[in-house]
Amino acid sequence: MNHLLVVLVVFSPLVGFLINGILGKKLPEKLSGALGTLAVLISFVSSILLWNHVSIHGGFETVLFNWLAIDTLVLDFGFRVDALSIWMMLIISGIGTLIHLYSIGYMHGDKGFSRFFAYLNLFVFSMFLLVMGNNLVVLFFGWEGVGLCSYLLIGFWYHNVAYGHAARKAFIMNRIGDLGLLLGIFLIFKVFGTLHLATIAELASANLVQPQIINWITFLLFIGAMGKSAQIPLFTWLPDAMAGPTPVSALIHAATMVTAGIYLVVRNANLYQIATLTTQIILIIGLATSILAALIGLYQNDIKKVLAYSTVSQLGLMFVALGVGAYSTAMFHLTTHAFFKALLFLGAGSVIHAMGGEQNISFMGGLKNKIKTTHITFLIGTLAIIGFPLFSGFFSKDEILEKVFEYSPIAWGFTLFSAALTAIYMLRLYFVVFLGNFRGSETQKANLHESPISMTLPLMILALLSLFGGVLNLPHFLPENMSQFLSHWIASIPSMQFMAPSSHEHHLSQTIIFGLMGLAIVLVLVLLFLVYRFYASRQFNILPNQSRFSKLGENKFFVDEIYNHLFVKQIESRSEFLYKVFEKKAVKPFIMLFPRIFGQLGKVFQRVQDGNVENYLLYFVLGIISFILLILL
C-alpha cells in the first residue's frame, strides 16, 4: 500500500507530463490544464495519506529497481519517505496544486498552453525525486532534473532571445554548483563507501572520519546548494530567471526548487553538525547574500525583480539559520516563505495580468480599489514577509533571530539589519503598487480587471496559510504540547533527534528572548510608519534617485558585468585563441610533419598508378578474398 502511494506521488506528475507532452496539442485548453492540475493533486492526496502513515509508524524506504551496480557501488532507484521528505512533499504538491490551478487562468490563450503544463508536471516529478531519493544519486537526478525544467520554463517564450539567454545562464550557473555537488558525492563514496543517505547519517554520527574531510564534503555539497539556492557567488541567475511566466517564478524560483539547497543541508545535518568550518562559511555567505540582495531589491522597479531579490535574500536568511545549526528553524522559514512568497509572486502575476503585461511599478499605483482580492492577499503576504506580529513570517524570522543571537550577537545585528531591509523594500513595493494614483496609460486604466476565480482562489488559500502558517512551529516558551511542532516532527527521525527542542539547552534567559522579540516588533512598526510617511509625502510614487549608492543598487552592484568581464569574456577569448591561433600555428604544423615526408615518397610511387579507382577497388576486394581463401584452406 505504501509502496503504491509512493509510486503514485512520484509518477502521477510524470504521467501528466507524458499526456500533455504527447497529446497536448490535440487537447482543449481546459482539459489540458485540468489534467496537469489533477496529476499534482493526486500527489498531494497521496502525500497526506503517507503523512498519516509516517506519523504513526515512522519513515520507510521503498526501492523500485537497481539502477546501477558495480562491485560495492550499488545504486538503487529508491525512495525514502520520512518526516523530512514528507514535509517537503506536502509543500511541493500542495503549493504545486495551487499554482497549477492558478496557471489555468494565467496561461489562458497562450500558444504553448499544454507545453507549459507538461513542463510544470515534469518539474514536480523531478522535485519529488530530489526530496524523496534514498541515496545521493537519485537526489542528483532530481537536482539536475529541476534545473533542466527550470531552463525549459525560463525560456518558455522561446522567440525572445533575452529569455533564452536567461534560461541558459540559469542552467550553466546551476551546473557550476552541480559539479561541486557531484564531487561531494564522490568524496562521500570514497570516505563512507555508500551513497545511501540514512547510512551516511549513521556513519557520520559515529565520528570516525577526520573533521577536515567532513569539512570538505560538506563544503562541496554546499557549492551545489549555492547554485541551486542562489547564494553568493552563484546568485545572479535567479533575478534573470524572472523571464519565465510568473507561475514558474512562484513555484520554482520561490517556493520549491530554490529551497533544494536548504533541504540538502538539512538532509545531511549529521555531517554539518560536525563540520564547524563549513557552517561558519555558510553563515557568512548566507548573511552576505541576504544583505546584498536586499540592498539591490531596494532599488529595483520591476515588480518581479524586487520579489526575486527578496527570494535570494530570504534564502540567505535560511542559510544563516543553517550556519548556526538551527536546522528545524531553517525548515520552518522555508515553509512560511514558501507560503508568502508564492502568494506574493502569484499576486504579482495577478497585478501584471490586470495591467496587461506591465511589470514596471512606476506605471502602477492606486490598484487598491481596482483589484480588491489581489490587494488584500498581497497585503497579507507583505505583512507576513516583513514579520508583522502574529503573521507566519513573524514567527519564523523571530526564531532565526533568536538562534543567531544565541550563536553570536554580532551576526544577530547583521541579520536584524537584513530583516529591516526586507521590511523597507517590501513596504515600498506595496505602497507604490497599491496606494496613491494610477500612473499607467489610459488603455491600461480602462482594462484594469480582477483575475478569474482560478487565479484568486489560490491567492486566498495562500493568504490563509501566510496568516496562520506560524502555528507550525510556535515559540518554545509556550506550553510544550502546542509549541515547536515542526522541530519535534523532524526530530522524530532517529538520526535527527538532536534537533528536538527539549534536548536543546537554552542559554538565553526569558527576559532576553522577550526583549529580542519586542525589539523586532518595535522595529517593524517603526519602519512601517517611516516608510509610509516617506512614500505618502511623494504620493506613493518613486522618484529617480541620483545618489551614487542608488545607482549602484539599480545596476545590481555590477555583479553581472564583473562576472562577464572576469569569466565569460576570458573564456571566449581563449576559445578564439585556441581555435584560430593555437590549432593552426602549433598543432597543425606538428601534425603535418608526417604527411610532408610521406607526400614526398608518394610522388615516387605516383607513376605506377593509373588513376582508375574502380580498378583499385576490384583489385582490393579480390586481394582480400584470395587472402582469406588462403587462410581457410
Q: What does the binding site for other proteins look like in residue numbers (CB under 8 A)? A: 21, 25, 65-71, 73, 137, 140-141, 143-145, 148, 151, 155, 158-159, 161, 164-165, 167-168, 171-172, 175-176, 178-179, 182-183, 186-187, 189-190, 571-572, 574-576, 578-579, 583, 586-588, 590-592, 594-595, 598-599, 613-614, 617, 620-621, 624-625, 631-632
Q: Cα(247)–Cα(449) distance, rounded to whole angstroms?
A: 19
Q: Where are the alpha helices (DSSP H) in 108-157?
A: 113-132, 136-154
The secondary element (H helix, E strand) that includes residue 66 is strand 60-70
**Closest distance between other proteins and the C-beta of residue 119, in Å?**
12
Least distance from other proteins to the Cβ atom of residue 179, Å: 5
Helix (H) or strand (E) holding 156: none
Q: How far is the CB of 171 from other proteins (least distance, A)?
A: 6
**In a 3-state reduction of DSSP, which class is residue 67?**
strand
The residue among 118 and 462 lying less far from other proteins, judged by its C-beta, is 118
Give the three-class secondary structure for 134: coil
Task: Closer to other proteins by CB, 51 or 189: give it.
Answer: 189
Closer by beta carbon to other proteins, 478 or else 625: 625
75/465 with CB nearer other proteins:
75
- Measured from the CB atom, the residue of 549 and 579 that comes closer to other proteins is 579
Rounded to the nearest whole angstrom, what is the least distance from the CB of residue 9 to other proteins in the complex? 18
Give the chain's end-to-end CA distance (angstroms, integer).
Answer: 67
Q: How far is the CB of 288 from other proteins (least distance, A)?
A: 24
CB of 426: closest distance to other proteins in angstroms?
Answer: 34
Question: In this structure, are residues 303 and 434 in contact, taking their beta carbons and an 8 Å threshold?
Answer: no
Query: Nearest-CA neighbor of 180 among 135, 131, 132, 231?
Result: 231
CB of 163 to other proteins, least distance (A): 9
From CA 313, how far away is CA 120, in angstroms rounded?
25
Q: Say if residues 86 and 48 touch (Cβ distance below 8 Å).
A: no
Coil/strand/helix, residue 249: helix
- C-beta of 477 vs 598, nearer to other proteins: 598
- Residues 6 or more apart whose CB falls under 8 angstroms from that of 329 comprise 321, 396, 399, 400, 403, 473, 487
C-beta of 250: minimal distance to other proteins in Å? Answer: 24
Q: Is 554 exposed, middle or buried (0-12, 13-18, 19+ CB in 10 A)?
A: middle
| Shorter beta-carbon distance to other proteins: residue 503 or 600 | 600
251 neighbors 344 (Cβ within 8 angstroms):
no
Nearest to 269 by CA among 228, 336, 329: 329
Closer to other proteins at the Cβ: 195 or 294?
195
